[in-house]
Amino acid sequence: MPGEILDNRGRGTAGFTWPTIHPEGRRFGAIAGVVFLLGGLFGGSLLGWPLALLTLGVLAFFRDPERVTPRDESLIIAPADGLITQICTVVPPREMTGDDGSGLPGLGDAPVTRVSIFMSVFDVHINRTPIGGTIRRVVYIPGKFLNADLDKASEENERQHFVVERGDGVRVGFTQIAGLVARRIVPFVKAGDIVACGQRIGLIRFGSRVDVYLPVGTEPRVLIGQSVVAGETVLAQLGECLMLEGVRQ
């Protein structure tokens, strides 16, 4: 059940449950369902079967499964399902570093490690906060709809920046980036909200990417080409700078 505490000593229960459909997707599912019924009524099976698959695909896209988030304040958790496609050192976007008029600090302009997670249309598109704390910034920027896997998508695509600050002042920034098919970023939180690590903070419709800006002195625990799970996979541990290698097999 939601909120249940589980551990690595056997506490808790587990079993398969069908994921719920997020409310944001129910109207899309309803529209697809009506089109399916009309298509089946007037077009027969020639239209009915493809439209039935489309309806199921729409519902699957907006699925919202429960996740088990590790409880350790030193951990940074993956905010998105998908594939690690880029790990590089960059200066965070100016919307995260400059003065936003609130008097609250941003990430600073020192180079940091950016981890990019690419979400295909088959991944869950509900995004979660990588750390718990206070939402200090939510900055939406309209833009283009380039392939989200391209590096310049971070600067040219429709995107939404978040900065979350823990109680001890540690700040982590992350960005939702719309993709080639995506046309809408939907936030669930606003500046000033207090969130728990792994809490849902928004979604991107139909294929996209999330960039995470790790604090200075922290390197990722994930590798290029690795698949991660939002709210569960440990992306990094604060202050840890280990060199990791993997083998594709």
d(CA 27, CA 53) in angstroms, rounded, equals 17
Task: Name residue 209's beta-bridge partners.
Answer: 118, 177
pLDDT tier, 156 (very low <50, low <70, confident <90, very high otherwise): low
Whole-number pLDDT of residue 40: 64
CA dihedral 247, 222, 65, 25 (to 10 degrees): -100
pLDDT tier, 27 (very low <50, low <70, confident <90, very high otherwise): confident
What is the helix (H) or strand (E) element at residue 29, kind and residue range? helix 23-43
Q: 208 catalytic, yes or no? A: yes
Nearest to 226 by CA among 126, 82, 61: 82
Whole-number pLDDT of residue 121: 83
Whole-number pLDDT of residue 83: 96
d(CA 215, CA 14) in angstroms, rounded, equals 34
Residues 6 or more apart whose Cβ sits within 8 Å of residue 72: none
Tell me how many degrees the CA angle 2-162-243 measures, rounded to the nearest 5: 85
What pTM value is reported for the model? 0.86
pLDDT tier, 54 (very low <50, low <70, confident <90, very high otherwise): confident
Is residue 247 packed enough to be buried (19+ CB in 10 Å), middle (13-18) or exposed (0-12)?
exposed
- The greatest distance separating any two alpha carbons of the chain, rounded to the nearest whole angstrom, comes to 62
Residues 6 or more apart whose Cβ sits within 8 Å of residue 228: 78, 80, 81, 82, 83, 84, 117, 222, 235
pLDDT digits 0-9 by tens, 181-240: 656 788 899 999 999 999 999 998 766 899 999 999 999 999 999 999 999 999 999 999
The active-site residue out of 45, 116, 120, 208 is: 208
pLDDT digits 0-9 by tens, 71-122: 999 999 999 999 999 999 999 998 998 777 777 778 888 999 999 999 988 8
